[in-house]
A and B are shown apart, each in its own frame.
Chain A
Amino acid sequence: MAKYKVLDNIEIHDQQAWPIVTGTADFTCDRKMGQYYAAEKTATIMKGRVTRIDVSKALALPGVKGFVTADDVPTWNKNIYFYGQPVCGIIADNWYVAIRATGLVDVTYEESKDAIFDPDEALKAWEQGREDKIAGTFGGTNVLQSSNTERGRGGINGLKSAKNQIDCEFGWTVSHAHNELEPHSALAWWIGDQLYFIVGTQYIHGIRASLTAALGLPLNKVHAMTRFNCGGFGGKAVEDEAPIVAAAMSRKLNGHPVLLKHTRRTNILTKKRQFSTRSKISIGYDDDGTFQAIDARFYSNMGVDTWFCNGDSEFGLRTTYRIPNASFASYVVSTNAPERKYWRCVQDPPAAMNYDSAIDKLAYKLNMDPYKLRMKNILRKDEIDQDNGLYRGGFEYLEMFKQVHDAVDYDRKWFSPDTPKTVEEVLGSAYRGDKRLYGISICGHYDSHGQAQGYNRGGIIKMNTDGTCQVASGSTRGSCGGNTIICNITAEALGMKPEDVILGTWGNTDYSLDPGIQAGSSHTTGAGSAYYNAAKEVLYKVFNVAITMDPFKSIHNIKWTDLESEDSIIYYAKDHTKKLTFAEVMAVAPPIAGASNGWASTTKGGQNEMGQWTGGAYRDKFNVIKKGDPVNTYGGAVACAEIAVDTETGEVEILHYYNLVDTGTSIFKHGVLKEIGTGSELVHAQSFFFGDVYDEQTGALISTNYTEAQFPTYMDIKTEHHDNVDYQSDDVGGPFGCHGIGEPCVTNYSTVLCGIFNATGVWVDPDKGGMTPDKVLKALGKA
C-alpha cells in the first residue's frame, strides 16, 4: 500500500451523507411501533435515601400506563448521590403525558447531612486527614489516586537538584455537559425472553454487553441496534442507562415496546460531562530553560463517577517534553454532583490548560518566547518514550510546531506581554482603528488517544456476485464518517474502486463483530485494522479462485501471491495485460467472505501467510525501529490562537485559529478535515461559552436548557477564521499508519488562555468556567 488510491483522497465522499442531507436518516425516536413513551422523575436532594414514592396522582392521569422505580431498574439506587439522580420512571401512551405525570410523583426523602459538593472542601479535608463528609461513591474517602508515574530521581528529588524552580497552582477548569442535539433515548421490547433495543450510541456492542450484565441475560438473548446519532460523541460512548431503563419498563408491561426519551433537562441533569481539574505543577530548570524536573499533580472532580478516566491527565506533559526527573500523579475527587466522564478529548484538555500555562509562566520568568522554550524541550521524533521505552510511529512535534510557527508568521507577531500592542499595530491596515490588544500563543502536545489497538476488534466483509463487496459494520454512524472510513480501508486493501465497496448492514449486533467504540480516537485504527485483515482474507480467497481461471490458469506455477489488484481489476503482477475483473471472478466463485480481528501496534508482530498484519511497526524507520517491533502510535495536535482582547468589556475574540492535527495517514480526507474543524469550534466553546451552573447550596444543576447553559451557536463562532490542517506524519504503526484524531483536535484551548496573557500580561482564572468576559475583567482589575 505504498501509494494510496482511496485513502487521503479528497474525491471520496461520505457513504452515509445522502440520508443525512436529505433528511431521511433515521434516529431512535423516529421509530414507530406502537410503543409507549417514558420520562424520568429526578431527585431534588444532593444525598440521602428515598423513603417513599407516591405515584397515585401520576397513575390517575389519563394515558399513564405504569411506572418503575429502583425496585425494577437494576442500575437505579434508593440511595441518592446527586441532585438529579433518576428515582422514578413514568410510562404513558404519549411522551408529554409521561413528562407531565413525573411532575405528579411525590417522593419522600431522608436527607443526609454529610453531602459534599465543593471539591476544594473534599480535597482540603483529605489532605488534612479529617474527612467528616463522604460523598459515598469511593467508600470511606473522597479522594483516590488514579495514576502515578515516577521517572529518574522523581519529582521532589529532581526539583531539589535543579538549579531553578517555578511553582504553579491552578484552579478548577470548566465542566460542561455534552448536550447532544439528540437527547439520550432507547426503544426496548421483549419477545419472550429475548430483549431487543434500539439506542443512539457510539458503541452498540459495548452497550449490549452492559445490558447482559445488568439484566443477567446471556449474550445471545440480547439484540442491540443503533441508527444515526446526532451529536454528543463522548457522551454516547458507553451510556447504557436509557436502554436498561427502557428494558425494565418494557418487561414490566409484558414486553410492550417502550421508548424512554430524555427531555433536554433530564439529559443535561443525568448524563455524563467533562470533569474539571485543578493542579499543582512545579518545574525545575536550568538557566537556559532546559527542563530538569517536574512534579505535577492533577486532581479531577468526577462527581459521583467511579470510573477513573482522568488517569492520563498528565499524558501530554509527560510524553511531549524531555524531562529526566519527574513525578506525575492524577487523583480523582468524589463529590455529590452529576457524574463526569468522557467528553470529547477526555483527560487532556483540562490538564493541558494547566501545564501549558505553567510553561508560559516559566517563559515569562525567563524573559523568553514561550515558543522557543517549548522547542528547546520537545522530544525529537527519534527519541524513545521516556517511560515505556518505545519509539513513536510518527511523532514529529518539532516539525509540527515549526509548521504552525511559520504558517502564522509567529516571529513577526509575538511580543512580550510587557510591551502590549494593539491589533492594528500587529495586523495592520485590515484592522484599522482596532485598539484591542493583540495576543498570540502556540501550544500542542502528544495526546493519550488514538493508539492502534485492534487486536480485540472484529470486521466482516462479504463479496457479492457482481464483484462488489459489502462491509458488515458493527459501528454506529460517526460524525466523521466512521463507516466510510472502514469502507475506504477495505477498498484500499482489496484494490477496489471505492464505489465498489458498499456499506451493508450496520449498527446491529446480530450481524456484525465488535469493532470497538465508534470514536475518532480509536475507531479508525482499531476497527480499521480488523477490516484491513478481513479484506486480506477476502483477497486471499478471491485470488485463489482467480488463478483457476483464464488468463491466469495457463501461467506456469502461478500462485495467488503472483496477483495484485487495483481499481477493481485483478492483474498478473508481472504482466498487466493478463487481468480479470472482480466481477468476472465472483460470477463463478463460491460465496466468499472474510472475518478477522486487527492488531496492536504496541505488541511485537509481523505478517502472516495471507498478508494480514499482526502488530508492531510495519516498516523500519530512523534506523532504530525495526519492522514488527512494538511502537507507540498516538497522535496529537499543535495549534496557534491569535486573539484580540477588549480591555473595556473583557471580550476576547479569536482572530485566527490554526489547528494542525497529526493524522498519520488521513484515511477519509473529508471526515478528517471536518473532525479537525469541529475541534476548532469546540476550542471556542470551551474557551468562552458553556460551563455547568450549580446552585451550590442544594447541589442542583440549574443550567438545564440551551439558554441557561450558554451553548454557543454556529453564529457565535467565526469558522471562517479557522485553518484546519491535517499533518501526515508517516506513522509506521501498521500498513496504513493512521492515528485517531477525534480527541487531539479538541485539546488546545490553552492557546486562548496563554494568548490572553500574551496580550494583557494578566492570567485569567477560569474558575470552573471559560475565559468569559467577567473573568477577564476580574483579572484586569475591572470587576
Chain B
Amino acid sequence: MKDFKHLSATSFDAAVALLANGKSEVIAGGTDLIYSMKGMHTPNLPDTVIDIKNIPDSAYVKEEGGYLKIGALTTLADIANNNTVRGKYTVLAEAAELVASTELRNVGTIGGNICQKPRCIYYRNEFNEFPCIRKGGATCYALTGVNKYHSIFGMMGSCLAVCPSDIAPALVALGAKIVTTKKTWEASDFFGLDQRRFNGEKINWLADDEIVKEIQILTAMYRSTYKKWSFRKAIDFPMVSAAVVIKDSKATVALGGVYNTPRLFIDISISNATAAGEACVKGAVNTFDSAYKIQIAKTMVKRAIEELA
C-alpha cells in the first residue's frame, strides 16, 4: 500500500482548502480509493487523503423544493432501503441495491460511487505494470489484448475502459443534477456524455479541487427500473446495465458498463420492447471480444420495458 497522510475535514470548504495542498484526494467510504492504494494501480495516487466522512449533515434523503435531495455522504444501503426512493425513484433504489455487496453498500456512498475510477483489467493491474493511457501512458492495452469486459461503443480518447458505476446510468436516465462545491451539473455533463476525450483517470468531469455535495432529482412518480447483468450475481461490477425511465409512451434509457460513460438513449418507443432493445445498441461495434454485450444490452432493455409497460 502507498504511504499517505490522512486529514479529516469538518466542512466542504475546509476539505476544498485541504485539497489544494499537493497530491490529495477526497475519501468517503473508501471502497475504491483504498483498493487502488493497496494495489498501487497508478503512479498518480494521492500523498494525502482528505476524509470527509465527518462533515455534518451531509448524509440525507429528503424531498424538498420540488426535488429529491440526497447528500453525497449518504450510503448506498440507506438509498436502497429508503421507502421514498424505492417507491418513486425505483431505478435509483434498484441500482443502489445492486452495487457490490452488503458490506460495501453499508460504507460506500453515492458521492463516492459516481467518483470511482474506471474499470479495466489493465488499468487495475497492481504496481502499474501496464501504464495505460488513462494513467498517462501511451497506449490502451485492451485494444490489442483482453477486451472482453470493455466498451461496445468505441472509445473516448483511445481508452476502452467502461464506466463501472451502477448509480451513474440511473442518474443520467433520471436527468439528475449533481451539486458540487463549484457548481450544479447536469448528470449528462458531469459524466461527459458529449465529450470526445476522457478526464484523466476520472469517470466524470470534476475538477481536482471540486467535491460532490448533493444529488438532486426532479420530484415525480417515475415508472423506472434498473437491470444489471454481470458474470457473478452476488457481487460484481456491471458488464451491462440498463436504467430505464418511462414517461408517457417513451423511454429514456441509460446503459452502463458498455462505454467510457453511461450511454444515453431518449424518446425510445415502448410499443415494441424488442425494437426498443435494438434501438439502444445501434452504433455498437462487434469487433472486440465484448461483442456479446450487444445481445445482452438489448435483452436488458427489452426486459425492462416489458416489465414497465
Interface residues of A (CB under 8 A from B): 44, 96, 99-100, 103, 265, 648-650, 688-689, 693-697, 700, 702-705, 707-708, 710, 712-716, 772-774, 777-778, 782-783
Q: Is B127 part of the contact surface with A, judged by Cβ < 8 Å?
A: yes
Q: Which of A100, A716, A778 sits near B1, CB closer than 8 Å? A: A100
Contact A783 B294 (CB under 8 A): yes
Could you list 20 A-B pairs, sorted by A, with CB under 8 Å? A99-B1, A100-B3, A650-B292, A650-B296, A688-B231, A693-B146, A695-B141, A695-B145, A700-B129, A702-B125, A702-B130, A703-B121, A705-B126, A707-B237, A710-B232, A713-B234, A773-B292, A774-B292, A783-B292, A783-B294
Contact B231 A648 (CB under 8 A): no
The minimal Cβ–Cβ distance linking B294 to chain A, given in whole angstroms, is 7
The answer for the CA separation of A774 and B296 in the assembled complex, in Å, is 9
Q: When A265-B126, A702-B122, A704-B125 are in contact, do A782 and B295 touch as well, CB less than 8 Å?
A: yes
The minimal Cβ–Cβ distance linking A78 to chain B, given in whole angstroms, is 20
* B contact residues around A783 at 8 Å (CB): 286, 291-292, 294-295
Interface residues of B (CB under 8 A from A): 1-3, 39-40, 101, 121-122, 124-127, 129-130, 141, 144-146, 148, 229, 231-237, 286, 289, 291-292, 294-296, 299, 302
* B contact residues around A710 at 8 Å (CB): 231-232, 236
Q: With A707-B236, A714-B234, A773-B231 given, can you name 13 additional A-B contacts, CB distance below 8 Å?
A: A99-B1, A648-B299, A650-B295, A650-B296, A695-B130, A700-B125, A702-B122, A702-B125, A702-B146, A704-B126, A705-B126, A715-B233, A773-B292
The answer for the CA separation of A777 and B289 in the assembled complex, in Å, is 12
* A contact residues around B141 at 8 Å (CB): 695
Q: When A649-B296, A783-B294 are in contact, do A716 and B125 touch as well, CB less than 8 Å?
A: no
* A contact residues around B296 at 8 Å (CB): 649-650, 773, 777
* B contact residues around A707 at 8 Å (CB): 124, 236-237
The minimal Cβ–Cβ distance linking B34 to chain A, given in whole angstroms, is 13
Q: Which of A648, A695, A772 sits near B295, CB closer than 8 Å? A: A648
* A contact residues around B1 at 8 Å (CB): 96, 99-100
Contact B235 A44 (CB under 8 A): no
Most buried by B among A96, A696, A705: A705
* B contact residues around A689 at 8 Å (CB): 231-232
* A contact residues around B234 at 8 Å (CB): 712-716
Contact A649 B295 (CB under 8 A): yes
Contact A778 B292 (CB under 8 A): yes
The answer for the CA separation of A783 and B152 in the assembled complex, in Å, is 12
The minimal Cβ–Cβ distance linking A704 to chain B, given in whole angstroms, is 6
Q: When A650-B292, A777-B295 are in contact, do A715 and B235 touch as well, CB less than 8 Å?
A: yes
Contact A774 B232 (CB under 8 A): no
- Where chain B touches its partner, the secondary structure class is loop
* A contact residues around B292 at 8 Å (CB): 650, 773-774, 777-778, 782-783
The answer for the CA separation of A76 and B146 in the assembled complex, in Å, is 30
Q: When A103-B40, A697-B145, A712-B232 are in contact, do A649 and B299 touch as well, CB less than 8 Å?
A: yes
The answer for the CA separation of A587 and B146 in the assembled complex, in Å, is 71
Q: When A650-B292, A774-B292, A777-B295 are in contact, do A708 and B124 touch as well, CB less than 8 Å?
A: yes
The answer for the CA separation of A651 and B296 in the assembled complex, in Å, is 10
The minimal Cβ–Cβ distance linking A535 to chain B, given in whole angstroms, is 46
The minimal Cβ–Cβ distance linking A23 to chain B, given in whole angstroms, is 18
* B contact residues around A696 at 8 Å (CB): 145
The minimal Cβ–Cβ distance linking A357 to chain B, given in whole angstroms, is 22
Most buried by B among A650, A693, A695: A695
The minimal Cβ–Cβ distance linking B220 to chain A, given in whole angstroms, is 31
Return the 5 tightest CB-CB contacts between A and B, nearest first. Answer: A715-B234, A783-B292, A774-B292, A648-B299, A713-B234
The minimal Cβ–Cβ distance linking B237 to chain A, given in whole angstroms, is 7
The answer for the CA separation of A707 and B126 in the assembled complex, in Å, is 13
CB nearest neighbor in B for A710 = B231
The minimal Cβ–Cβ distance linking B301 to chain A, given in whole angstroms, is 11
CB nearest neighbor in B for A770 = B231
The answer for the CA separation of A96 and B3 in the assembled complex, in Å, is 9
The answer for the CA separation of A650 and B229 in the assembled complex, in Å, is 11
CB nearest neighbor in B for A44 = B129
CB nearest neighbor in A for B129 = A44
Contact B121 A103 (CB under 8 A): no
Most buried by A among B141, B234, B296: B296
The answer for the CA separation of A693 and B130 in the assembled complex, in Å, is 14
* B contact residues around A648 at 8 Å (CB): 295, 299, 302
The answer for the CA separation of A704 and B40 in the assembled complex, in Å, is 13
* B contact residues around A103 at 8 Å (CB): 40, 127
* A contact residues around B129 at 8 Å (CB): 44, 700
The minimal Cβ–Cβ distance linking A111 to chain B, given in whole angstroms, is 15
* A contact residues around B302 at 8 Å (CB): 648
* A contact residues around B130 at 8 Å (CB): 695, 700, 702
CB nearest neighbor in A for B229 = A649
The minimal Cβ–Cβ distance linking A180 to chain B, given in whole angstroms, is 18
CB nearest neighbor in A for B303 = A648
* B contact residues around A708 at 8 Å (CB): 121, 124
The minimal Cβ–Cβ distance linking B252 to chain A, given in whole angstroms, is 23
The minimal Cβ–Cβ distance linking B284 to chain A, given in whole angstroms, is 12
* B contact residues around A712 at 8 Å (CB): 232, 234
* A contact residues around B121 at 8 Å (CB): 693, 702-703, 708
The answer for the CA separation of A650 and B127 in the assembled complex, in Å, is 35
The minimal Cβ–Cβ distance linking B114 to chain A, given in whole angstroms, is 19
The minimal Cβ–Cβ distance linking B167 to chain A, given in whole angstroms, is 18
Most buried by A among B1, B2, B236, B299: B299
The answer for the CA separation of A596 and B257 in the assembled complex, in Å, is 62
The minimal Cβ–Cβ distance linking B306 to chain A, given in whole angstroms, is 11
The answer for the CA separation of A773 and B144 in the assembled complex, in Å, is 22
The answer for the CA separation of A96 and B234 in the assembled complex, in Å, is 30
The answer for the CA separation of A688 and B127 in the assembled complex, in Å, is 29
CB nearest neighbor in B for A709 = B121
* A contact residues around B231 at 8 Å (CB): 688-689, 710, 772-773
CB nearest neighbor in A for B1 = A96
